[in-house]
Amino acid sequence: MLNFITGYLPCTHHHFDMKTNILTLLCLAIMALTSKTALAQQSDNTKIPNAYWASFGAGASSLGALSGMYSVNVQIPHNWLVTVDLDGGANRSGKTYDTNYSQSVISFNILAGKMARQKFSLFTLSAGLGLVDVHTGLGSYGLQDAPYINKDQYTLGIPIVIQGYLVGLQAFGIGFSGNINLNTIKPTAGINLSFALGRMQTHTPRF
């Protein structure tokens, strides 16, 4: 009986060691697969870096003549976008029977918004707060000694900006930008043909 017991115990111990080794190998395999998946996900994330670009454009203004826009844009996590923007519009100098006048609106804005990216395109929609300068020039027409009056009025504005670009190269985009500025003195709107330079193409093209 004793021999039977003593003969059985080593077998039991050996069987227990086999189970332990199998479980250890399974744990190591799971850890290896998990690490490989995490590294693959990290590699995929690094393939899509954050975008940033500077843009400039010119077009038409609701004031009746030219519109212009300059901006610097930086993407932050979760496809949010921070934009610093300078835009403006001007009308043509007008003349009546005895006066001439001109008017321009320039605003400096800080905006936040969202962006959507595809392989060869990029779109943004932003809103924010800005300082608006409404400049008006007024004078008498045909009277050389009559003073020409320049008047500047300042107010806060709420800018809304949309941008869309086709991106054919890593660092260059061409598209449009539209802006609306809501303020208490002279609300304006404009649309521009725009060009952008920076990290525009955020997906690696595959042919």
Residues 18-72 have pLDDT tens digits of 555 555 665 555 555 545 544 444 444 445 678 899 999 999 888 877 888 999 9
Amino acid at 21: N
Domain boundaries, the chain: 1-47, 52-199
Instruction: Determine phi and psi for 75, rounding to 5 degrees.
Output: -80, 140
Asked whether the predicted pLDDT for residue 133 surpasses 90, the reply is yes
pLDDT at 12: 41
Instruction: Determine phi and psi for 14, rounding to 5 degrees.
Output: -65, -40
Q: In terms of DSSP H, where are the helices of 47-120?
A: none
Tokens of 174: 């061409």
The most confident of the ranges 67-71, 168-172, 201-205 is 67-71
Higher-confidence position of 31 and 153: 153
Higher-confidence position of 144 and 3: 144
Between the CA of residue 58 and those of 7, 55, 71, 97, what are the distances in Å?
94, 11, 12, 32
Selection from 99, 94, 72, 69 nearest residue 83 by Cα: 72
Global pTM value: 0.68
pLDDT at 42: 44
Tokens of 73: 């844009």
Give the architecture (CATH level 2) of 52-199.
Answer: Beta Barrel (2.40)
Indicate the range of 15-19, 73-77, 185-189 predicted with least confidence: 15-19
Selection from 56, 109, 111 nearest residue 82 by Cα: 111
Which residues, listed in sequence order, are joined to residue 74 by a DSSP beta bridge?
52, 82
**CB count in 10 Å sphere of residue 61:** 23
